[in-house]
Structure 1
Amino acid sequence: MTLSSAPKRLSWPLLVLFAMPTLPMYLLRGPAFSILPALYAEHFAISLGTMSLILLLVRVFDGVLDVGVGWAIDATQDRWGGRKSWFLVGSMLTVACIFQLYVPPVHADAMYFATWFFIAYFAWTVNEIPYGAWSVDLTTDYRERSRITVARQYFNVASGALLGLIPLLWFLPTTEMNFDALRVLAWMVAATLPLISLLCVIYVPRGVTAAHATRHSLIASFKAIRTNRAFIRFLIASALAGLGDATGAAVGFLVLDSYLGLGAAIGMVLLQWGVAATIGVGVAEFFLKRFEKHRVFAWSAIGCALCYLAFAPLQPGIPHLLFLYLVCSFAHTMFYIVIDMLPQAMVGDLADFDLMKSGVARTAQYVSVLTFVRKATFGIGTSLSLFVVSQFGFEAKQAVYASTAILGLKISAFALPFACFMLAALIIWAYPITARRHAVIQQRNARLGRVVPDPGLA
C-alpha cells in the first residue's frame, strides 16, 4: 500500500486518547519552566546568578542529548514502530524522578536542583521526542497535522487550568504556588501518566512508517538537515520566539510576586490563563483551517510583542493593578498559545520535504532538533534574563527596589521579549512550505512509494 491510499483523518475517540498524555506531562512541565526556579531561589537562598548558570548548563546539555535520542528513535524498529516503546519508557522515567524535583528535602541546594533538573529533563526528552514524531506519523495531510496539534494543545490548556486550581484546594495552607502545592501536583502526575500512556500505546495506531528503512549515520543526518533551508528559517523563527518567551517567563513570577506584590493571586492568574488559552486555541483552529500555518505564526508573534508593550507601564500601587495585569496576561496568553503549538504542526511538513529529497525518513530527528533548539533557547533566554536582573541588583523578596533594579527587571520581562517576537514574525513571514507545496511533496513521496500507512488508521 502506498501513501496515496493512506487514510488522512484520525477518528475522534483515537484523537482524544492520543492527546490525553499531554495533560499530565504539561501539568508537570508548566511549573518547571518558570515557577520552580523562583521557588528554589526563594526557599533555599540560591542567588539568581547561580540559578541562571544552572538553567543554561542543564538545558543546553540536555538539548544535545535530544539529537542523539531522535536518531536512536528513528533507528528503532519493533512491532510498535519504535515511537511507542520510547514514549512509554519516557513516561515511566518521568514518574520515577518527579518527587525528587518537586518535593525537595529541607537541605536542598544549588547542586541538588541542578542534578534533579537534568534527570527530569532527560526523562521528558525520552517521552517528548517519540510522542512528537508519533503525532507526525499519524497523518500525511497538511491540515490534519494542525488538527492533531490543536487537540494536544487543548489538553495543554487544561493542564494550565488544573495547575491554577491546585493552590485553591481546601486542605492546602495558603493559595500561593509553593512546594505544598507542587507535592499535590506530583501525586496527580504519578497517578495518571503511566495508565494514560499505556492505553495510548495499546489502542492508538502507529501511523505511517518508512517503506524501506535506510541506514544512515548521525553525521549524514546533520548534513541533510543543515542543507534544508526551509527548516533553518523555521528554526531561527522558533528560536527567537523561544527566547522571547523564556526571557519573559524567567522573571514573570518575580514581576508578579516580588515586584507587583500579587503573589496571593497566582491561582486566579493561572485560571485566567486556562480560559484565555482555551479561547486562543479555538481561534487558532478557526484560522488554521483557512490560512497558512506560518502566517498564523507571524501574526501571533506580533500580537505577543504588542502585549509586552502593554505590560511595561504596570507598577505597584496603581489603581486596578490586578485587573490590568489580568487583561494584559489574557491577551498575551491567547497569542502565545498559538506560537507554542504551531512548530509541532509544521515540523512534520519539513521532514516530508527531506524525505522527498533524500529518500531517508528522519521524522524523529527533525522533532529532536526542534526540541533541542526550543530547550536551548529557553535555557539561554532564562539564563540571560536572570543574569540581566542580577546585574541590575534585583533579588527576590527585597523590601525596597532601587530604580536601576526595576529597570533591569523591565528589560528582561518586557523589552527583550518584544524584540524577539518581532524578529520571529519578520523571519517566518517568507516561509516557503505552503499547503499547496506540501501537497506536491506528498504526491511525489506517494509516487516513489516511500512510506506505508498503518491499516489501523480509520
Structure 2
Amino acid sequence: MDRPPLSQKLMLYYAAPHLTHAVATLPVALFVPAFYADDLGLPLAGVGLAIAASRATDMVTDPLVGILSDRFKTSWGRRKPWIALGTPLLMLSAWMVFAPAGQVSLLYLFVWASLLFLGFTLVDLPHKAWGAELSTDYTERTHVAAWREGSGALGQILFLVVLSAMDFLGYVDNREQLRVIALIIVFSLPPLVTLALVKVPEFPSEELAGERHEGWAGLRLVLHNWAFVRTLVTLLLLGTAVLIQATLHRLVLTHVVGRPEIFATMILAENLISLAMVPVWMNIANRIGKHRAICLAALWIGVSSLGFPWVDRGDTGFYATLIVLRGSSLASLFMLANSIAADVVDHDIVASGRQRTGLFFAVWGIAIKLAVALGVLLGTALPAAFGFEPSAPAQDPDAKKWLLIIYGWLPCLIIASGLPLMWNFPIDRVRQRALREQIAARRTGVFRSDADGAA
C-alpha cells in the first residue's frame, strides 16, 4: 500500500454526499416514467424517448468534465471545485423534474432532465474519481467503494421509509411523493457535500518519470486498454438489464399485480437486503476476486428474475419475494464495478505516465448513462410495441404477457451475454500489486520493467 490506511470515519465523510446523489437518480427510472405517463397524460413511448434523448448531451459533457477535473489543479484540489459547482444545478433541476407545476410537455421533460443529468455529472463523476484516488490498495479500494454504495443504498432506504409512511397515512399520489423526494434532495445535499469537502483530503495527481502520452496518443492508450474495454461493455450490459426492470417495477405492480400502494415498501425491502448483503459480497470478493464476485452478483439478479413472467394479479407475496431476492446483490454490483475501475486506472497510469482517473470515470459514466437510456427506452418502447399502454382503460392480456417477458427474461439474456467478459478479467490482486510497484518506482525516476502489466 502506497499510502497509510484510511480510517472508517474518513471513508464515511467521503461517502456522505452519495446519500443524496442516489436519491437524485433513482426516481428517473422508478417514478418519472409512470408519473409523466399515468398522471400527466404523456405517451409512454414519448416519455421514454425524452429521457433517453436527454442523456445524449452526456456524450459531450462527461468527457469534458472528466478531462477538466484531471487537469484543473487548484489549492483546493482537482475534484472538489466541480462538486461545489454542480450541487446547486442538481438541486434546481431535480425540483423541476420531480415537482413540475401545471401542465408539462415532452420538451419540458427533455430540457430539465438534461440539466438534471448535467448536474449529476458535475457532482458524481469527480466524486467517483476522488474516491478511486483515496487508496492504492486492491482490497481497501473495495472498502471505499462499499462505503459509497452503502451510503447510496442507505439514502434510498431513508427516503423510501418516508414514502412508506406517506402510503400508510394515505398519501399515495405520485405527485405528492415526487415532491417529497425533491424536498429531500434540496435540504439534504448542501450539508452532506460540505462535510465531505471540508473533512476529506484530496491527494495530488500521480505523475511518473519517463515518456508521457498526450492528445490522440493518450486516447489510443485508453481504447487499447482491453481491461478497460471489457469493463466498459460489461457495465453497459448489466446496467441496461437492471434499468429495464427498474423502469417497469411500478407499471407491473400497478397493472399486473394490482397493488401500487405497496411500491415504496417493496423497494424499501429491496434496498434493505441490498445494503445488508454488502459485507457478504465484500467477503466473496476478497476470496475469489472482484471480477468473479461481480459475475456471481449479476448472475444472482438474472436467476432471481426468471420467475417474473409467472406473476399474476394478486400475487403480492410471490412478486415481492422475487424483488427482494433480486435486490440482494444490487448495491454490491456497483460497489465492485467502481473498485475494479480504480484498478484499471492503475494500468493506464503505467502506460500513459499520468493519472487520468476523471477521463476514465467519464467514459464509464457515459456507459452507465447509456445503459440508463437504453434501459428506460427498451423498458418503455418494447411493451408499447406489443400493445401495452398504461393510460388505456383496459389492458390486452397478451400485452401484459409480453410486458412480463420483457421485464423478466430480456434482462436475463442481457446479463448472460456480459458474464464471459469478466470471469477471466486480467487484473487481479497480484497484477494490481505489480502495477502499483511500477508506479512507485517511476515516481522516483527508476522504472522496473519486471512487474507484470495487465492488458
Q: Answer whether TM exceeds 0.5 for this pair.
A: yes
Tell me how large the CA RMSD over aligned residues is: 2.1
Q: Which residue number in structure 1 is paired with residue 309 of structure 2? A: 312
Shift of 1:149: 0.7
Partners of 1:323 and 1:172 in 2: CA distance: 18
Partners of 2:186 and 2:208 in 1: CA distance: 39
Q: Residues 21-420 of structure 1 correspond to what in structure 2 (within 5 A)?
A: 21-169=17-165, 174-176=170-172, 178-211=174-207, 219-317=216-314, 321-420=315-414
Deviation track 1:241-270 (CA, whole Å, cap 9, x = no partner) reads 011112222222111112221201112212
Partners of 1:72 and 1:5 in 2: CA distance: 26
Question: Aligned in 2, Cα 1:382/1:105: closer, same or farther, shift over 3 Å?
Answer: same
Shift of 1:12: 1.5
Shift of 1:184: 1.9
Work out which of the residue numbers 422, 439, 445 in structure 2 matches 1:445: 439
Partners of 1:182 and 1:34 in 2: CA distance: 11
Partners of 1:282 and 1:323 in 2: CA distance: 27
TM-score (norm 2): 0.93
Deviation track 1:396-447 (CA, whole Å, cap 9, x = no partner) reads 1444322331233123211210101111222211211001100000001000
Which range moves more in the overlay, 279-288 or 254-263?
279-288
Partners of 2:116 and 2:444 in 1: CA distance: 36
Identical-pair percentage: 24
Question: Aligned in 2, Cα 1:339/1:168: closer, same or farther, shift over 3 Å?
Answer: closer
Partners of 2:443 and 2:190 in 1: CA distance: 36
Query: Any conservation in 2 of the 1:62–1:121 contact (CA below 8 Å)?
Result: yes
Work out which of the residue numbers 406, 413, 425 in structure 2 matches 1:431: 425
| SS of equivalent to 1:60 | coil
Partners of 2:2 and 2:349 in 1: CA distance: 18
Partners of 2:147 and 2:248 in 1: CA distance: 30
The one-letter code matched in structure 2 to 1:279 is A
Question: Aligned in 2, Cα 1:5/1:345: closer, same or farther, shift over 3 Å?
Answer: closer
Which range moves more in the overlay, 160-169 or 308-317?
160-169
| SS of equivalent to 1:210 | coil
Question: Aligned in 2, Cα 1:199/1:104: closer, same or farther, shift over 3 Å?
Answer: same
Partners of 2:418 and 2:359 in 1: CA distance: 23
Deviation track 1:312-333 (CA, whole Å, cap 9, x = no partner) reads 211113xxx2111121111100
Shift of 1:207: 2.7
Q: Which residue number in structure 1 is paired with residue 3 of structure 2? A: 6
Partners of 1:61 and 1:238 in 2: CA distance: 19
Partners of 1:106 and 1:174 in 2: CA distance: 23
Which range moves more in the overlay, 79-88 or 143-152?
79-88
Partners of 1:339 and 1:218 in 2: CA distance: 33
Which range moves more in the overlay, 140-149 or 172-181?
172-181
Shift of 1:19: 0.7
Q: Which residue number in structure 2 is paired with residue 456 of structure 1? A: none
The one-letter code matched in structure 1 to 2:285 is L
Partners of 1:447 and 1:177 in 2: CA distance: 60
Deviation track 1:11-42 (CA, whole Å, cap 9, x = no partner) reads 12111111111101112211122211211111
The one-letter code matched in structure 2 to 1:418 is C
TM-score (norm 1): 0.92
| SS of equivalent to 1:290 | helix
Partners of 2:389 and 2:60 in 1: CA distance: 31
| SS of equivalent to 1:251 | helix
Shift of 1:120: 0.5
Partners of 1:294 and 1:50 in 2: CA distance: 37
The one-letter code matched in structure 2 to 1:374 is I
Unpaired stretches in structure 2, ≥5 consecutive residues: 446-455
Partners of 1:97 and 1:143 in 2: CA distance: 37
The answer to which structure, 1 or 2, has the higher relative contact order (CA under 8 A, 6+ apart) is: 1
Shift of 1:359: 0.7
The one-letter code matched in structure 2 to 1:259 is V
Question: Aligned in 2, Cα 1:170/1:35: closer, same or farther, shift over 3 Å?
Answer: closer
Question: Aligned in 2, Cα 1:172/1:101: closer, same or farther, shift over 3 Å?
Answer: farther
| SS of equivalent to 1:294 | helix
Matched pairs, number: 444
The one-letter code matched in structure 2 to 1:322 is T
Shift of 1:174: 2.9
